[in-house]
Amino acid sequence: MADYDVVIIGAGPAGIFTALELADTGQKVLILEKGHDIAMRASQNADRATPLEERRRNIVCGWGGAGAFSDGKLTLTTEYGGNLDDFMSKAALQKEIDYVDAVYSQYGGADRKVYGDEHAEAIAQLKRRAAAADLALIPARIRHLGTDVNVEILKNMREALAGKVDIRCDTEVTELVFEGGRVQGVKVGDEYIGAKYLVAAPGREGSEWFVTQAKHYGLELSSNAVDIGVRVETPAEIFQHITDIVYESKLLYFSRSFDDQVRTFCMNPNGFVVTENNGGLLTVNGHSYAHKKSPNTNFALLVSKRFTQPFKEPIAYGKSIARLANLLGDGPIVQRLGDLRDGRRSTPERIRRGLVHPTMPSATPGDLSLVLPYRHLVDIMEMFEALDAVAPGANSRHTLLYGVEAKFYSSRLQLSDQLETTIPNFFAAGDGAGITRGLIQASVAGVIVGREIRRRETEAKGGHSHD
**Which of the listed residues 365, 389, 408 is the one where a domain comes to its end?**
408
* Per-residue pLDDT tens digits for 24-75: 999 999 999 999 999 999 888 777 677 766 766 677 899 999 888 877 889 9
Rounded to 5 degrees, what angle do the CA atoms 364, 365, 368 make? Answer: 100
Percent of all residues in the chain with a pLDDT value above 90, rounded to a whole number: 68
Question: Rounded to whole angstroms, how far apart are CA atoms 37 and 430?
Answer: 19
pLDDT of residue 1: 45
Residue-wise pLDDT for 182-212, tens only, equals: 999 999 999 999 999 999 999 988 888 998 9
Same domain, 252 and 308: yes
- The answer on 179 and 297 residing in a single domain is no
CA distance linking residue 162 with residue 165, whole number of Å: 6
Taking the C-alpha atoms of residue 47 and residue 45, their distance in angstroms, rounded to an integer, is 6
Amino acid at 433: A
Q: Are 210 and 24 in contact (CB under 8 A)?
A: no
Where a domain ends, among 361, 377, 408?
408
Q: What confidence score (pLDDT) does residue 56 get?
A: 64
Split at pLDDT 50, 70, 90, the class of 80 is confident
Considering only CA atoms, which of 226, 239, 227 is closest in space to residue 265? 227
Task: Give the residue numbers spanning the domain of 156.
Answer: 4-109+145-222+411-463
Give domain status of residue 71, yes or no.
yes
Sheet containing 364-365: order of strands? 135-139, 249-254, 261-268, 296-305, 226-235, 400-407, 333-336, 364-365
CB-side neighbour CA atoms (13 Å) of 262: 28
Per-residue DSSP letter, 332? -
Query: Phi and psi (nearest 5°) for 33?
Result: -130, 130
Which pLDDT belongs to residue 398?
Answer: 98
State the pLDDT confidence band at 466, using cuts at 50, 70 and 90.
Answer: low
124 within domain boundaries: no
- Is residue 127 domain-resident? no
217 and 302 share one domain: no
Task: Supply the pLDDT for residue 222.
Answer: 79
Residue 313 lies in a domain: yes
Stated as kind and residue range, the H or E segment containing 333 is strand 333-336
Q: DSSP letter string over 143-210?
A: EE--HHHHHHHHHHHHHHHBTTBEEE-S----EEEEETTEEEEEEETTEEEEEEEEEE--TGGGHHHH
For residue 404, cis peptide bond before it (omega within 30 degrees of 0): yes
**Cα dihedral 141/143/147/149 (nearest 10):** 180
Predicted confidence (pLDDT) per residue in 317-372, tens digit:
888 999 999 999 888 999 999 999 999 999 999 999 999 999 999 999 999 999 99
CA distance 363 to 404: 11
In a domain, 359, yes or no: yes
- On whether both 156 and 183 belong to a single domain, the answer is yes
The angle formed by the CA atoms of residues 391, 395 and 396, to the nearest 5 degrees, is 110
Structural domain contains residue 393:
yes
Last residue of a domain, one of 365, 385, 408: 408
Integer Cα distance of 284 and 287 in angstroms: 10
**Confidence category of residue 147, pLDDT binned at 50, 70, 90:** confident
Checking if the pLDDT of 105 tops 90, the result is yes
Q: Any idea what the CATH number is for the domain that residue 82 is in?
A: 3.50.50.60
Within a domain: 137: no
**CB burial class (10 A; 0-12, 13-18, 19+) of residue 133?**
middle
314 and 403 co-located in one domain = yes
Distance from C-alpha of 168 to C-alpha of 287, rounded to nearest angstrom? 28
- CA nearest to 276, candidates 67, 135, 455, 126: 67
Q: Is the pLDDT assigned to residue 104 strictly greater than 50? A: yes
The answer to whether position 245 is within a domain reads yes
Task: Indicate whether 34 and 180 sit together in one domain.
Answer: yes
* Count of structural domains, the chain: 2
User: Are 356 and 442 contained in the same domain?
Assistant: no
Clarify whether residues 398 and 423 are in a common domain: no
Band (pLDDT 50/70/90 cuts) for residue 410 is: low
**224 has a pLDDT exceeding 90:** no
In terms of domains, do 331 and 443 share one? no
